[in-house]
């Protein structure tokens, strides 16, 4: 079955950059959009952006414009989320998720990111 496997937990300094990977196995990679969603401690779910690998064109939430870069490597079936200029408010659990129609049907296991000096 299709699985999304994310890279491991990260601890980052304020002002640095973060890159999280999401490898898709067991199914098609290019045909489905991959989105990134985060949940800060005690907060709700927040959609950050998404990318359709077959086109390679990302969509970003306005809040992250200029700081967020989403890419997809079709050769390795891996999506990447890069967030720059990290601040403490970026401390969160980050998920990738596959979009099937009007729903995110498969999710990665989550990557905990801590931003602290």
Stretch that binds another protein, among 9-17, 22-30, 43-51, 76-84 (CB under 8 A): 43-51
Q: Which residue has the tokens 């973060």?
A: 18
Alpha-carbon torsion (53, 56, 59, 65), positive or negative: positive
State in angstroms the smallest separation of the CB of 86 from another protein: 21
Stretch that binds another protein, among 12-20, 55-63, 71-79, 80-88 (CB under 8 A): 55-63
Please name which of 9, 10, 11, 54 lies closest in space to residue 29, comparing C-alpha atoms.
54
Of positions 47, 68, 73, 84, contacts another protein by CB under 8 A:
47
Query: How far apart are the C-alpha atoms of 54 and 49, rounded to whole Å?
Result: 16
Backbone phi, then psi, for 43, in 5-degree steps? -110, 180
Query: How far apart are the C-alpha atoms of 68 and 75, rounded to whole Å?
Result: 22
Which residues from 93-112 bind another protein, rule CB under 8 A?
95, 97, 99-105, 107-110
Question: Looking at beta carbons only, is 49 or 53 nearer to another protein?
Answer: 49
H runs (alpha helix) in the chain: none
Question: Looking at beta carbons only, is 16 or 31 nearer to another protein?
Answer: 31
Residue ranges in contact with another protein by CB under 8 A: 35, 37, 39, 44-47, 49-50, 59-62, 95, 97, 99-105, 107-110
């Amino acid at each position: 079955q299709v699985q999304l496997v994310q890279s491991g937990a990260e601890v980052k300094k304020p002002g640095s950059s973060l890159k999280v990977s999401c490898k898709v196995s067991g199914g098609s990679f290019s045909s489905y959009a991959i989105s990134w969603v985060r949940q800060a401690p005690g907060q709700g779910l927040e959609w950050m952006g998404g990318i359709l690998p077959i086109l390679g064109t990302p969509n970003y939430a306005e809040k992250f414009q200029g700081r967020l870069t989403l890419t997809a490597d079709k050769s390795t079936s891996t999506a990447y989320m890069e967030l720059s200029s990290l601040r403490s408010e970026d401390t969160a659990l980050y998920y990738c998720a596959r979009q099937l129609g009007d729903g995110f049907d498969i999710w990665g296991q989550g990557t905990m990111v801590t931003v602290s000096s």
